[in-house]
Amino acid sequence: MPDRGIVLGPNRYGKAEVRVVKVARDTDRHEIEDLSVTSQLHGDFAAAHLSGDNSHVIPTDTQKNTIFAFARDGVGSPEAFLLRLADHFTSSFAWVDGGRWEAESYAWQRIVSHGAPHDHAFVRSGQGVRTAVVVADGDERHVLGGLKELTVLKTTQSGFEGFPRDRYTTLQETADRILATDVAARWRYVGTDVDYNAVYESVRGLLLEAFAERYSAALQTTLFEMGARVLEVHPEIGEIRFSMPNKHHFVVDLAPFGLDNPNEVFYAADRPYGLIEATVTRDGLAPAPAAWEGIAGFC
């Protein structure tokens, strides 16, 4: 084959968004674990791209079936489940030297029937989606916890003042506005000996507390306080990254109808919106670019 001056660059492949639900039936009181799992492998797959040789291509269907088989023993936490998958694929196939495994975890709450939580009937919880990522590079493991679609709002104790003005500026300064956002956050652990479920619940609570407390001079200020609160409490977390839209609420002018509007009636605009993204990290923390590769929306 003639030299075309073209080479294969970085690549990976796998099975995306495998929906797996595990029900624990050991007792009459059932437990449910509900996930969407993506498995992607990297390693020596050049021949498949360059010559159609599939001898190293572990079928994506095999990856899907492995996820289901591993779920038979339970999930435990999304992070621990993904670590098990990473260890399996990197140890079972000599040409697989790493990969990226990602999960979304969907929470269910027991339905209350006759004043008591039901043993086997659930309602989907709508307060955010838990996320997790494991990146394997040889023997190295990077673990990211996270959440998304955590919609929060405060009706006061927020403002936006002191910004520069030019001929195109129409926004008026305010010291009392609605602040609302959809929190998407991912945090990187600095080890793997972690009670991931306990830390997740704690981090989620800390994010909500930090959002609610104190006056917010800007969404940027609140974002930093949320991240700092998490790092102050959890030494096992090295950095936390946010992507947070500013869900604007505009005071409606009711004067044409002969009515006042003392910050009570708002128009909730879905677009365009401000988008704030930032990393809150420990001073001197060694960067881990491999952990964040391919994760869109987090600077």
- The confidence score (pLDDT) of residue 16 equals 98
Reply yes or no on whether the pLDDT at 1 is more than 60: no
**DSSP secondary structure of 265-292:** -EEE--SS-EEEEEEEE-TTPPP-HHHH
Residues forming a β-bridge with 179: 154
Let me know if residue 2 belongs to a domain: no
What integer is the mean pLDDT of 35-61?
A: 97
Please count the structural domains in the chain.
2
Q: Same domain for 156 and 206?
A: yes
Annotation marks residue 192 as catalytic: no
Does some domain include residue 45?
yes
Our answer to whether residue 60 is catalytic in this structure is yes
Return binding residues for O2. 60, 246
Let me know if residue 232 belongs to a domain: yes
22, 30, 56, 60: the catalytic one is: 60
Residue 37 has a CB neighbour count (10 Å cut-off) of: 28
- Residue stretches of the annotated binding site for 5-hydroxyisourate: 60-61, 220, 246
Cα 119 to Cα 202: distance, rounded to the nearest angstrom: 26
Q: How confident is the model at residue 29 (pLDDT cuts 50, 70, 90)?
A: very high
152 shares its domain with 282: yes
User: Does residue 159 share a domain with residue 77?
Assistant: no
Percent of the chain with pLDDT over 90: 95
Percent of the chain whose pLDDT exceeds 70: 99
Give the largest CA-CA distance in the chain.
81
Residue 129 lies in a domain: yes
Q: Which residues are annotated as a binding site?
A: 60-61, 160, 177, 220, 246
Rounded mean pLDDT of 127-151? 96
Q: Is the pLDDT of residue 279 over 80?
A: yes
Residues 43 and 107 grouped into a single domain:
yes
Predicted pLDDT of residue 221: 98
What angle, 0 to 180 degrees and rounded to 10, lies between the N-to-C axes of helices 196-212 and 219-233? 140
Residue 299 scores a pLDDT above 80: no
- Out of 42, 234, 247, 248, the active site residue is 248
Residue 3 has pLDDT above 80, yes or no: no
Q: What is the mean pLDDT of the chain?
A: 96
Q: How many CB atoms lie within 10 A of CB 275?
A: 12
Residue 146 pLDDT more than 60?
yes
Task: Name the pLDDT band for 52 (thresholds 50, 70, 90).
Answer: very high
Q: What does the pLDDT read at residue 296?
A: 80
Distance CA 217, CA 198 (A): 31
Q: Is the pLDDT of residue 94 over 60?
A: yes
Residue 46 included in any domain = yes
* Domain extent for 192: 147-298
Can you tell me the mean pLDDT for 206-228? 98
**292 and 256, same structural domain?**
yes
**Domain match, 73 and 127 both:** yes
246-258 average pLDDT score? 97
| 2 pLDDT more than 80 | no
Residues 119 and 156 in one domain: no
Query: Is 15 tagged catalytic?
Result: yes
**Mean pLDDT along residues 255-263:** 97
Final residue belonging to a domain, choices 138, 170, 188: 138
45 and 171 both lie in a single domain? no
What band does 4 get if pLDDT is binned at 50, 70 and 90? confident
Indicate which CATH number applies to the domain containing 86.
3.10.270.10
Same domain, yes or no: 156 and 235:
yes
Own/partner contacts of 262-267, CB < 8 Å, gap of 24 or more, are: 263/176, 266/178
What lies within 8 Å, CB to CB, of 64 at 6+ separation is 15, 18, 39
Q: How far is residue 282 from each of residues 114, 187, 194, 247, measured CA to CA in Å?
A: 49, 12, 19, 29
